[in-house]
Structure 1
Amino acid sequence: MTMTTRVISVSVPVADQDAAIAFYVQTLGCELRTDVEIWPGARLVEVVPPGSSVALVLLPPDSEIPVAVRLGTTDARAAYDRLREADAVLYNDDVLHLEGAPPMFHFADPDGNGLVYLQEPDGARG
């Protein structure tokens, strides 16, 4: 099984999401890909540099959305089980199934860096 298919996005902590959008879009020339409230109080903002498939997720420091590198995987359940068996630090009790989102879970590498696996639909790997 190929656990990791690609880097989807990388979080960048920002003090003010609107100011960050202005900087990344107007100054750096990124495209605003996503700006949605995924649950009350949790705003997900993604910008993408020209020609890149990897997004930057602009998150305030108090966000419930984890600051992490988001990785694609072919099978979130199998990846979760494999990491659990390897005694990795898992921040979710199980794979999350949120409405409108792919199966996912949050974990850490051995140095404590935040990572999230998102299950990719067939054919979506890039």
Structure 2
Amino acid sequence: MTTRVLSVSVPVADQDAALRFYTEVLGCELRTDVEVWPGARLVEVVPPGSSVSLFLLPPDSEIPVAIRLGTSDAQRAHDAIREAGVALHNEDVLRMAGMPPMFSFTDPDGNGLVYLEDTAEDEHG
């Protein structure tokens, strides 16, 4: 069901300070810095040559602080997670324009997870 790790969220107090640290000190490359919707800024960096990115998010972000995983079929994964009795954060698979089908849930220890359907065009999550 899981095809790969796409990204990992890092909770940060100040996105601008974190962006400077990850790019200027650690040498990561900025991939995305956008306001997804009002008040929800997505800052994504990636180590050179890595296919796994880091999302620098405030702990109170509306964007889930989570590990993002690829799956070949989001609906099938959603059904399997529901059948396993896992707490889903989305009643149905989310389908938003320009984004792969996705949903979020938590593992038994309360860690946030998001499944995103892998598509041929999606190379970096």
Alignment check: 8 A CA contact 1:6 1:125 kept: no
Partner of 2:2, secondary structure, is coil
Q: Deviations over 1:63-99 (max 9, x none)?
A: 0011100000001000000110111110111111122
| Total equivalences in the alignment | 124
Amino acid at match of 1:5: T
Deviation at 1:51, TM superposition (A): 1.8
Gaps of 5+ in 1: none
2:66 pairs with one of 38, 45, 68: 68
Q: TM-score, normalised by structure 2?
A: 0.94
Partner of 1:18, secondary structure, is helix
The percent of aligned pairs where both chains have the same amino acid is 72
RMSD: 1.4
Q: Are 1:8 and 2:6 an aligned pair? A: yes
Deviation at 1:122, TM superposition (A): 3.4
1:39 pairs with one of 37, 40, 57: 37
Query: 1:50 maps to what in 2?
Result: 48
CA distance in 2 between partners of 1:40 and 1:103 (Å):
21
Query: 2:101 maps to what in 1?
Result: 103
Deviation at 1:123, TM superposition (A): 7.1
Amino acid at match of 2:17: A
Gaps of 5+ in 2: none
Partner of 1:24, secondary structure, is helix
Displaced runs of 4 or more, over 2 A: 122-126
